[in-house]
Amino acid sequence: MENTEIARIFHEIAELLEMKGEDHFRIRSYRNAAMVIEGLTESLKTLYEKGEAGLDGIPGVGKGIRAKIAEMLTTGRCAVHDGLLKELPAGLFDVLKVGGIGPKKVMLLYKELGITSVDALRRAAESHAIHALPGMGEKTEENIIRAVESLKKVSARFNLAVGLSYAEGIKAHLQKTPGVARVEAAGSLRRWKDSIGDLDMLCIAHKPEDAIAAFAAYPGVKDVLSKGGTKSTVVLKTGLQVDLRVLKEDAFGAAMQYFTGSKAHNVALRDMAKRKGLKINEYGVFKEPGDRWDAGKTEEDVYRSVGLPWIPPELRENRGEIEAAAEGRLPAPLELCDIRGDLHVHTRESDGNATLAELSEAAQARGYEYIAITDHSRAVGVAHGLDEKRAMAQIEAIDAFNERLKASGRHFRLLKGAEVDIRADGTLDHADEVLSRLDCVVGAVHSGFNMTREAMTGRIIKGMESGWINVLAHPTGRLIGVREPYKVDMEAVMGAAKRHGTALELNSYPERLDLNDVHCRMARERGILVAVSTDSHSTAHLGNITFGIHNARRGWLEKNDVLNTRGLKELLRILKKTRQAGR
Ligand code: DGT
Ligand code: CA
Ligand code: CA
């Protein structure tokens, strides 16, 4: 079983126990285990195979949980989970997703009315079968109908880029309101998580009611779900939900810290504060005894109060960042100015829309020293992939282009490259005569996503074993919210990458972000270079590098872990070495 599968089962156990009203401590241990596992950079299977000591080394996971991990790895099942699912139908998980319905209510509705699905819940609310139950009323029924509707619309998480554009729009809108001093986005968006559930906005305003009124009047708003003195929740026409809180300047740092999350990071930080006799919440840091207000104006103040340096939002997932901060070994965040070029760019020869000259100008305007032109090979027919003849012609064209660049005294170079398809049998879609003339070969899978895990892993490794591939592009093939990653043994792929000196791509397209954060960290730990590339199909796409940089930070990558932070000379040396080592 995969880590994600095991984590999911632990999440479900926690939810089932919660519905049953079981001991809070027990529930928390399952939930905690699930989160720890989601952040692991090694597979549980590998750890388990190292013997007892392997699983013992996982921080924050107790003996009982370890036994269940071992059980799942050996039998593929979890008796506790199975037992709970016999008692409670799985449909209750869906009911739990309806806003305003907590585990206790789910249980009550199930016991009294036999409700096990969202549709049944809606029917019960519409036929007024719910208001007579204890703690419910006619208002509850109205809320349920509304919540079911909004659940249908927002059940999918939102693309980070979509969230970002709305956050900017709302910010600009609110800033036009007199008395509004500052507006910031917090939550998963500020952490640059690869998808966002909802948008969390914070604002400092002289008259909170004016800010709240302006928020409700934002042109993108479809529905105002709640509107209070200092907070409000709306649903946008796209279905994205947005929370706004209006705050006093003194508490803004504390609120930013709290609402940036993640929840797991906050829980760990508060535990640490408690041990120091402090209390942290969204209003500030308070000293015991007497709860005297101590800090809260800036986030730096909040972290300083517990003896920590400020932690970049991208790292706030409770994956060891608090310990690292305490020990002064937080990674130095990758910066845009560290990036010296882009190693995955398409022109109009395949499915891009720009010419060599246009791309060269745009890249130079960004201050780059190089970009690799990596058009598709012929197997990717929909992308008008290049056959050998066209590839050879492009190689000549790039050589000629570089001659002209040199003659005009520019310190910039187009690298000859290709995004060569790794065919289903693991062979490459360009002949050696073409590959040997390229500076930078990007290899990728473009078809047959439904292969078994073994077959896909073998296919990719065979591609790398050819010795031609410098960078393995979008290594899991995921399209966020559209297509799941294909099944592949990432540990084995990384093993091969390490052996052959192949870099792994972090594709910066906001729909891809592939490698994901955890995989980036795995690569770093294994000493595998990551190429943060844009896979641009137009000059504007070069700007997507920002998404890649923030995702790289989420994966703890530093400048040195990234291939395209190297200057041209050093880059060419590395690219060449990979080929020589492989062949
Ligand atoms: P999302 O919206 O699912 O992509 O993820 P977030 O992280 O934006 O989560 P959200 O919108 O539910 O809450 C925003 C932040 O507020 C979250 O990151 C941490 C904080 N927060 C929310 N609920 C709790 C809580 O129960 N305890 C603590 N300590 N913090 C919370
Ligand atoms: Ca959120
Ligand atoms: Ca929220």
Q: Are residues 528 and 568 in the same domain?
A: yes
Residue 534 resides in a domain: yes
> Do residues 73 and 189 both lie within one domain?
no
Q: How far is Cα 396 from Cα 412, in angstroms, rounded to an integer?
A: 17
Residue 581, Ramachandran bin (φ over 0: left; ψ between -120 and 50: alpha; else beta)? alpha
Give distance in angstroms: CA of 494 to centre of ligand 3.
Answer: 36
Which residue, of 154, 178, 212, is where some domain finishes? 154
Query: How close is the Cα of 307 to the center of ligand 3, in Å?
Result: 28
Task: Give me the domain span that covers residue 188.
Answer: 158-247
pLDDT (0 to 100) of residue 52: 67
Residue 556's domain is classified under what CATH number?
A: 3.20.20.140
Q: Among positive and negative, which fits the CA dihedral 354, 355, 360, 365?
A: negative
Distance 181 CA to ligand 1 centre (A): 24
Mutate to test the pocket of ligand 1, among 155, 263, 265, 314 (most ligand atoms within 8 A of CB): 263
What pLDDT was estimated at residue 431? Answer: 95
Please tell me whether residues 84 and 171 are part of one structural domain. Answer: no
Reported for 105-110, long-range contacts at CB under 8 A and 24+ positions apart, including other chains, are: 105/135, 105/136, 106/19, 107/19, 107/20, 107/21, 108/133, 108/134, 108/135, 109/133, 110/19
Instruction: Tell me, yes or no, whether 77 and 165 share the same domain.
Output: no
Alpha carbons 9 and 26: distance in angstroms, whole number: 15
pLDDT on residue 549: 98
Residue closest via CA to ligand 1's atom 20 equals 259
CA-CA distance, 175 to 171, in Å (whole number)? Answer: 6
Q: Are residues 350 and 437 in the same domain?
A: yes
Q: Ligand 1: distance of its center to the CA of 244 in Å? A: 13
Amino acid in the structure at residue 226: S
Q: Are residues 429 and 567 in the same domain?
A: yes
Q: Which residues of the chain have pLDDT under 70?
A: 52, 153-155, 581-583
**Residue 411, domain member (yes or no):** no
Q: Quick one: pLDDT at residue 155?
A: 56
State both tokens at 212.
Answer: 């709240």
Inter-residue contact 160 to 178 (CB < 8 Å):
no
Q: Which of 217, 247, 277 is the last residue of a domain?
A: 247
Total number of domains in the chain:
4
- Say which CATH number the domain at 260 has: 3.30.210.10
Position 581 scores a pLDDT of 62
> With contact defined as beta carbons under 8 Å apart, do 285 and 305 qualify?
yes
Q: Is residue 363 part of a domain?
A: yes
148/163 same-domain check: no
Q: In this predicted structure, what is the pLDDT of residue 582? A: 55
Residue that finishes a domain, picked among 247, 280, 310: 247
Q: 318 CB under 6 A from ligand 1?
A: no
201 Cβ contact partners less than 8 Å away, ≥ 6 residues apart: 167, 170, 171, 174, 183, 184, 185, 186, 215, 242, 243, 244, 245
CB of residue 457 inside a 6 A radius of ligand 1: no
What is the structure's pLDDT at 583? 56
- Say what the pTM is: 0.82
267 lines ligand 1 (CB under 6 A): yes
Q: Both 108 and 8 in a single domain?
A: yes
Q: Whose CA is nearest to atom 1 of ligand 1?
A: 197
**62 shares its domain with 181:** no
Residue 187, ligand 1, Cβ within 6 A: yes
From 155, 188, 194, 299, mutation site for ligand 1 pocket: most ligand atoms within 8 A of C-beta? 188
Looking at residue 32, its pLDDT comes to 83
Number of neighbouring beta carbons within 10 Å of residue 68: 21
Cα–Cα distance, 571 to 370 (Å, whole number): 10
Token pair for 37: 């596992």
Same domain, 449 and 498: yes
What is the CATH number for 88?
1.10.150.110
Q: Answer for the pair 275, 258: CB distance below 8 angstroms, yes or no.
A: no
46 found inside a domain: yes
Residue 492 lies in a domain: yes
- Residues 568, 451 within the same domain: yes
Is there an atom of ligand 1 within 6 Å of 196 CB?
Answer: yes
> Looking at the domain assignment, is residue 412 inside a domain?
no
Show the beta-strand stretches assigned E in 366-456. Answer: 370-373, 413-421, 440-444
Q: Give the atom of ligand 1 at the shortest distance from the alpha carbon of 188.
A: 8
In a shared domain, residues 167 and 138: no
Task: Looking at 176-281, list the stretches that DSSP marks H as alpha helix, in order from N- to C-terminal side.
Answer: 187-190, 208-216, 252-260, 263-275
- 266: Cβ below 6 Å to ligand 1? yes
With the most atoms of ligand 1 within 8 angstroms of its CB, the residue from 259, 283, 318, 480 to mutate is 259
Specify whether the CB–CB gap between 13 and 27 falls below 8 A.
no
